[in-house]
Structure 1
Amino acid sequence: MSESTLSTSARPAPFTLGPRARRLVILVGLALIWESYARWLGNSLLLPSFLETLGALRENLRNGELPERVRASLGILLTGYGIGIGVAAIITALAALSRWGESLLGLLTAMFNPLPAIALLPVALLWFGVGASSLVFVIVHSVLWPLALACHAGFRAVPPTLRMAGRNIGLTGPSYVVGLLIPAALPSILSGLRLGWAFAWRTLIAAEMVFGASAREGGLGWFIFVNRSQLETANVFAGLLTVILIGLAVESFVFATLNRLTVQRWGQEA
């Protein structure tokens, strides 16, 4: 073996950061850009600095305002998200088991998926009045259709040979869906759950700003609305930062864990 080959093989591998470390570096970089631009702008009414926003966040956590708003928002969000998952599961199962169900899903998604959930706020007010029920209604709408489409696309992508194998071992009806289609289509289902969560979260904040303005109560959206009206810009950005941090936490801990325990563990990751 030549000297050049030996020196090449003995050369240490280049230092690389893992995915979490890279994300942390990017977040720190974004925070530094925010802080630098805010200091250069010099107008806290338009853009408070990152440190000012952290101070407002700490103060609202200390006085209990933000934890109470977060609790109210997450309670409504999880209720609507759970109902949306249940309805999507029923409709998608019907679509997988019969042509009538598939036509029903295709027609409903073509009708309602393009309809913004926020556009249903007037209807929700008429049907349910001002309160949690109206918020749950619009959240269910925001979750249902993207999740149903993702699940159905995953079911359709299951190979015919795997379908035949399931039929040959006696899987029919609900057992066919639960025992074969759902495990095989799990990557698509998780993508639909992620998409549904993102739609539900942003719909809730927007809806709370409208309903909060009517009912004088609400969660994070109402917190942002009130502080915007009072020109407490640092509190507004603290509320927005809370929304972002909750989204990052759900993505990093909930969905990443589900993906690791299922898709990656079962070798289904592309």
Structure 2
Amino acid sequence: MSREFNEATFGPPSEEWAVVERPLPLLQRLFAHAALRRLLILLALAAAWQGYAVWADNPLMFPSFTETIDAFWTDIRSGVLLIKTGNSLRVLCMGYAIAVAAAALMAGLAMTTRLGDDLLSTLTAMFNPLPAIALLPLALLWFGLGTPSILFVMVHAVLWPLALNAHAGFSGVSDILRMAGRNAGLRGLPFITGILIPAAFPAILTGLKVGWAFAWRTLIAAELVFGVSSRSGGLGWYIFENKNRLETASVFAGLSTVILIGLLVEVLIFRTIERHTVRKWGMLR
């Protein structure tokens, strides 16, 4: 519709027809920020926690939020909680790195050779349903108390879901991309790094998140059982010791530390990777 016809039919535009942009109310603008919404959720949970603890009035069974914060801050200042957290994170990084490397190797072999695909399918069908905690007695017999046993069960917990996610992502790469890579002369490792990994990265990133969660909770569970050797116990052993001393507030402080580290890793690491990769590439909304 031309401008002349529009003006002849409806008349010239008037100020009454002008579109006026009005800013959103302050409350709507604040709630548009995901970080603020999540903070409000955490504050609501803390308020509910405090209210129930005051109502129950039983610090031995359920300490209040303020008592937990006090125990947390006391153990932070004494250095006990920092040392235990550092021990756990050190073992976690070691086990997670080993599992990621093993999963990458298995998924790469599965995509390049038929024997590798059969091997991955068979091993995941056998070991993925097996709970990592069920391997604790064997780990204790084979490796004794300490870090090697924890690494064994942690690698088992992370390896299979991560390898399955990576293999599923590789299998979902379109034939057009595969043919383009082969036409460009890519074979073997260059084909995997140049074509398969970028195209399958959403599935790989999901596997890394799932593997991280499995590694973290398996580590804490293993430390609760036999996580101390030469005074190198981690957060799980910290929780166990305080349970034996009936220091329930410190038990809650240890559990809160586990949750806090999980939130920090999700926000600072995985969301940063996601923002600079799959979201930037338009592969995820």
TM score, norm. by length of structure 2: 0.90
One-letter amino acid of the structure 2 residue matched with residue 128 of structure 1: F
1:12 is matched with: 23
Unmatched segments (≥5 aa) in structure 1: none
One-letter amino acid of the structure 2 residue matched with residue 97 of structure 1: T
Structure-to-structure mapping, 1:193-204, within 5 angstroms: 193-204=208-219
**Equivalent residues of 1:212, 1:221 under 8 A apart:** yes
**Residue deviations 1:203-244 (CA, integer Å, cap 9, x gap):** 000100100378875100000001111110000000000000
CA distance 1:261–1:10, shift in 2 (3 Å)? closer
Instruction: Say if 2:241 is the partner of 1:241.
Output: no
CA–CA distance in 2 between the matches of 1:203 and 1:2? Answer: 69
1:130 is matched with: 145
Matched-pair identity in %? 57
1:86 is matched with: 101
One-letter amino acid of the structure 1 residue matched with residue 23 of structure 2: P
**Equivalent residues of 2:76, 2:82 under 8 A apart:** yes
1:178 is matched with: 193
**Equivalent residues of 2:136, 2:222 under 8 A apart:** yes
Instruction: Say if 2:39 is the partner of 1:24.
Output: yes
Secondary structure of the corresponding residue to residue 264 of structure 1:
coil
**Residue deviations 1:9-58 (CA, integer Å, cap 9, x gap):** 44433523311111111111111111111111111111111111000000
Deviation of the 1:264 alpha carbon: 1.4
Among candidates 165, 169, 172, match of residue 150 of structure 1? 165
Secondary structure of the corresponding residue to residue 277 of structure 2:
helix
One-letter amino acid of the structure 2 residue matched with residue 158 of structure 1: V
**Equivalent residues of 1:57, 1:238 under 8 A apart:** yes
Deviation of the 1:255 alpha carbon: 0.5
Deviation of the 1:99 alpha carbon: 1.6
> Greater shift after overlay, 9-18 or 23-32?
9-18
Aligned residues: 269
Question: RMSD of the TM alignment (CA)?
Answer: 1.7
> Greater shift after overlay, 119-128 or 14-23?
14-23
1:261 is matched with: 276
Larger radius of gyration: 2
Unmatched segments (≥5 aa) in structure 2: 1-12
CA–CA distance in 2 between the matches of 1:21 and 1:187? Answer: 26
CA–CA distance in 2 between the matches of 1:170 and 1:151? Answer: 23
2:225 is matched with: 210
Secondary structure of the corresponding residue to residue 155 of structure 2:
helix
Instruction: Say if 2:61 is the partner of 1:50.
Output: no
CA distance 1:243–1:4, shift in 2 (3 Å)? farther
Deviation of the 1:105 alpha carbon: 0.7
Among candidates 146, 153, 168, match of residue 183 of structure 2? 168
